[in-house]
Structures are given as structure tokens and as C-alpha cells.
Structure 1
Amino acid sequence: MRRRAVIFLASGAYLGYAPVASGTFGTLGGVALYPVFEGLRRFSPALYVLSFLALVAAAVAIAGEAEEIFGEQDSGKITIDEAAGYVAATLFVTPSIPAVIASFLLFRAFDVAKPWPAGYFDREIRGGPGVVLDDVIAGFYANLALRALFALIGLAP
């Protein structure tokens, strides 16, 4: 039972089993979490931040266990890291359709490009932390890029 739960969570409700672009499909799991996190932000900013940190910690643990189950490092089936990264991309972002879409696109771009230190974590750190933290860093880059982009075009991030 535990094995099934780990696979379900690690793969973002099986989005990681998409035949192509599993990371992109896995990011949709983060999009699905966006309304939940937005509700937490409105209720309590402190609870919002703590919930994000709990998500990252859980993702690290689950991804590490999933690597053992799948028998490979950073398996494409593991997409809980994309969900955590997308949530990082939307932290304290004013909710809007343009923000959700732009955050998605920017996160995917930074996740693929892996600018330093995301690339370092991806290449050099093993286990759950290596799987998840590069995506969270990419999410923070996407968050900053979204804020800069929206400032340039006069929208509230």
C-alpha cells in the first residue's frame, strides 16, 4: 500500500507516466495545487509559507523513496518536483489567468535551462534533495522573471 501511495504522489497522480514531456504534464499537478495555496495565502500568509515548506520537505522524502522504487535517479516518472517548483513560481503572485499561464511557461523554461545553482543541484546532489531542489530554484527564478515581466507591461504580479 505504501509503495502505491509513493508512486501516486511522486508521479503527480500518474502525470509522470505521460509518454512525452512528463515534466510538462507533471507541472499541471502544480497548477492544480495553485487554488489550494492561494486559499492558504488569503487565510494566513504564515500558514501559506509553512505549507510550501512542508510541500518541499514532503516532495524531497517522496522523490527519494520513489527513486528507490523505480530503480533510477531522477526518473522522468517523478513529477512531484515539478509541482513544488510551480508552487515556488507562484508564491505571493496575484491570482489571474495571465499569471497562471506565464508562471507555467516561465517555470518550464527555467526548469529545462537549469541556470546556476539549479543545474548544480540537478547534477551534483543525489536522492530526493537533488530531484526536488533544482525545480524549486527554477521556480524561484520563474517567480522573479514573472515579477519583472509584469512590471514591464504594467500588470500586478
Structure 2
Amino acid sequence: MAAIRQPDLRFLLQHPYHFLALGFGSGLSPKAPGTFGSLAAIPFYLLLSLICPAWLIACLAVPLFLWGIPICGKAGDELGVSDHGAIVWDEIVAMLPLLAMVPQTVLGWAAAFVLFRIFDILKPWPIRWVDAKVKGGLGVMLDDVLAALPAAAILYFLNPYLH
């Protein structure tokens, strides 16, 4: 693992996987990069929705998750920290199915965002355990997918009220 490096615009643009791992630049936020990465999922989702139905975007999260393992792993190696805060591809990928499952309204997207952030920040068991024990690109990606699961369960029941 390299010495710890603080990512910057040069790092972001150095390689396409840096650009993705750092969430199109949203991970460069000096404060709350995970929150900004989660927010970046919304315009990314809207862009995808121009060419794909919501169910397909949700399914697309699977290959994006698998692709994220080496992307985030390489970026973490180069930054010198396996799960550097600037790496937010995991937040973006985890948000996509949540955005797809809610009514396509600002309220629906806001509910998906807030619930995901709550579980991603609090990391209740087993999310915290996975975050502590599973390292590398898989660990980076997996804890956020796990945080999306309870958010999805709550969104399922809230769905009728989010129109």
C-alpha cells in the first residue's frame, strides 16, 4: 500500500477509474464526501433514466458493484487507504436501486437519500462488522450495499406515501 495521499483534481483526472471511484469528483468534497457521493447518484440516475427504465437501472447496479470492486480497490491502493473517504463509487452504486424503487419524485428521491445516509453513517450490525473485517475493493463496496438493504425495506413500506 502506498503512503497516504490526499486526492485532488489531478488525481481525479489521472485515470478513468479514479474519476469513477471518486464519484465524478463528488468525493473531493472536503467535508462529508460520502454524502456528496450519495447526492451524485441522483443526477447519474436521472441520466441513466433517459435511456433505461427504472427496473433496468436497479439491475445495472449488480455489474456496477462488481466493476466497483477493482475500481475502488485500485484507487484505495493508490491513495494508501483501503476505504478512503473520497472513494464514493460505493455510495453511488448502492443508491441506484433505492432511487429506482421509489416514486420518481423529489420526495421519493429525498427519502431514498436520507434513509441510505442514516444506515451508511450509523452502520448497524452486520454492516459495521463487514466494514471492519472485509478489506479492499470488496469491503468498500459491500458495506454500502448492506446499508441499502434496510433502507430498501423501509422504503418499500413508505412507498405509498411518497407520491
TM range (shorter): 0.7 to 0.9
Distance 1:90 1:113 in 2: 20
Q: Cα RMSD (Å) of the superposition? A: 2.1
Q: Give runs of ≥4 in structure 1 deviating > 6 Å.
A: none
Question: Are 2:21 and 2:87, in contact at CA under 8 Å, matched by a contact in 1?
Answer: yes
**Superposed CA offset, 1:108-150 (max 9, x none):** 1010011222222211101111001111111122121122234
Name the residue aligned to 2:28.
Answer: 17
Per-residue deviation, 1:93: 2.3
Question: Are 2:103 and 2:159, in contact at CA under 8 Å, matched by a contact in 1?
Answer: no
Question: Are 1:60 and 1:129, in contact at CA under 8 Å, matched by a contact in 2?
Answer: yes
Question: Are 2:82 and 2:137, in contact at CA under 8 Å, matched by a contact in 1?
Answer: no
Name the residue aligned to 2:68.
Answer: 59
Letter in 1 for 2:151: A
Question: Are 1:15 and 1:26, in contact at CA under 8 Å, matched by a contact in 2?
Answer: yes
**Superposed CA offset, 1:53-75 (max 9, x none):** 11111112210111111011200
TM-score norm. by structure 1 comes to 0.85
Q: How does 1:85-96 map to 2 (within 5 A)?
A: 85-96=94-105
Question: Are 1:107 and 1:142, in contact at CA under 8 Å, matched by a contact in 2?
Answer: yes
Question: Are 1:12 and 1:29, in contact at CA under 8 Å, matched by a contact in 2?
Answer: yes
Name the residue aligned to 2:91.
Answer: 82
Question: Are 2:127 and 2:147, in contact at CA under 8 Å, matched by a contact in 1?
Answer: yes
- More displaced, 138-147 or 47-56? 47-56
Question: Are 2:73 and 2:137, in contact at CA under 8 Å, matched by a contact in 1?
Answer: yes
**Superposed CA offset, 1:25-56 (max 9, x none):** 111221122224445225xx4x4444121111
Per-residue deviation, 1:90: 2.4
**What runs of 5+ residues in structure 1 fail to find an aligned partner?**
none
Per-residue deviation, 1:3: 5.0
Aligned length: 151
Name the residue aligned to 2:42.
Answer: 31
